Amino acid sequence: MNVLGLHLLLELKECNPELLDNLDYVRNALIRAAEDVGAHIVGESFHRFTPQGITGILSIAESHISIHTWPEYRYAAADIFTCGSTFQPRDAAAVLIEQFESGCPEITEVRRGLLSLPVGI
């Protein structure tokens, strides 16, 4: 079977809450993850909520990297979706785990767009 894309869902627990509530830091962490693996950034949107928390997304040519933070719980939900094989999404996940100082990360891998090839191809 072939797949159209690989989607990693990151549960980033026991993070540094100050980092999770700093919009510039969160933005730079996602950009670093993209740049470190050779992804091509084509757009971005980030927002800081009151009293706390950040949502951000990087649109990349290969799909996207996004995050939603809850500093009060020392938690962030992030995902990395890539279609193609220009980079390994687990390498980008490792950057995010390190950047947010997650003491208890969990990664779920979802293969998206499972394709069955016709017999004989």
Tell me the pLDDT tens digit for each residue of 2-32: 888 999 999 999 999 999 999 999 999 999 9
Residues annotated as catalytic (active site), given as ranges? 63, 68, 83
Residues 62-98 as b/e (b if ≥16 CB within 10 A, e otherwise) read bbbbbbbbbbeebbbebbbbbeeeebebeebbbbbbe
Instruction: Give the global pTM.
Output: 0.91
Instruction: Using the predicted structure, report yes or no on whether residue 120 has a pLDDT greater than 70.
Output: no
pLDDT, average across residues 61-82: 97
114 pLDDT band, cuts 50/70/90, is confident
Structure tokens at 19: 């980092």
Instruction: Using the predicted structure, report yes or no on whether residue 106 has a pLDDT greater than 80.
Output: yes
